[in-house]
Amino acid sequence: MSSIPLITENQIKEKIQELAGIISSDYPGGLTACGVLKGAFIFMSDLVRSLQVPASCDFVKVASYKGKASSGKISLELGPSLPTEQKKILLVEDIIDTGLTLSWLKDYFSKRGAEVKICALLDKPSKRKIDISPDYTGFTIEDYFVVGYGLDYNEEYRSLPYIGYLKE
């Protein structure tokens, strides 16, 4: 399989600067960025370094995928390490497709007293199974299976500096 470029490294950098400016103005007192592992770690790193407000960082890891498809069942493999009560949590995700994972995570943090917003590098609304939208979106894409910039296929392609789609 090979990866066909869809979003360039420069387009990603420009979009992160734009998102960081908007998020910084929305959170003048700071926030806790909570990345969804593993796919969001590169995006979150670049985003947090571009913010102009204080940001603490945390991570969660959930399981929902089997190969190229969502199983529809969410399980928390790694919970947050920082307190979440009365915190402003920005869930940072690589991609939203079915919406099941982020809906589950938003509910998880909200039940613990957090104010939760979602920032997704990629949004694939054509795959939605639940009504949820990111508060901050990098790019809206068609129904491609994408890799690169943290996104993987069987743990490969994460290190690509761009986002591409797989071709047999």
**CA distance linking residue 31 with residue 44, whole number of Å:** 13
SS3 132: coil
Q: Give me 167's structure tokens.
A: 């071709």
Q: Give me 148's structure tokens.
A: 């690169």
The CATH number of 2-64+71-167 is 3.40.50.2020
pLDDT digits (tens, 9 = 90+) for 155-164: 999 999 999 9
The percent of residues in the chain predicted with pLDDT above 90, rounded, is: 80
Neighbouring CB atoms inside 10 A of 137's CB total 17
Residue 72 has pLDDT above 80, yes or no: no
Residue partners of 83: CB distance under 8 A and separation at least 6: none
Residue 137 has pLDDT above 80, yes or no: yes
Domain map of the chain by residue range? 2-64+71-167
Chain center to CA of 37: 9
Q: Give me 23's structure tokens.
A: 């998020």
The answer to whether 119 and 134 have CB atoms below 8 angstroms apart is yes
**CA distance linking residue 115 with residue 92, whole number of Å:** 14
pLDDT digits (tens, 9 = 90+) for 29-45: 999 999 999 999 999 99
Neighbouring CB atoms inside 10 A of 4's CB total 11
Q: Which residues are catalytic?
A: 97
What integer is the mean pLDDT of 124-144? 95
Q: Identify the DSSP state of 145.
A: -
Instruction: Give the max Cα distance, the chain.
Output: 47
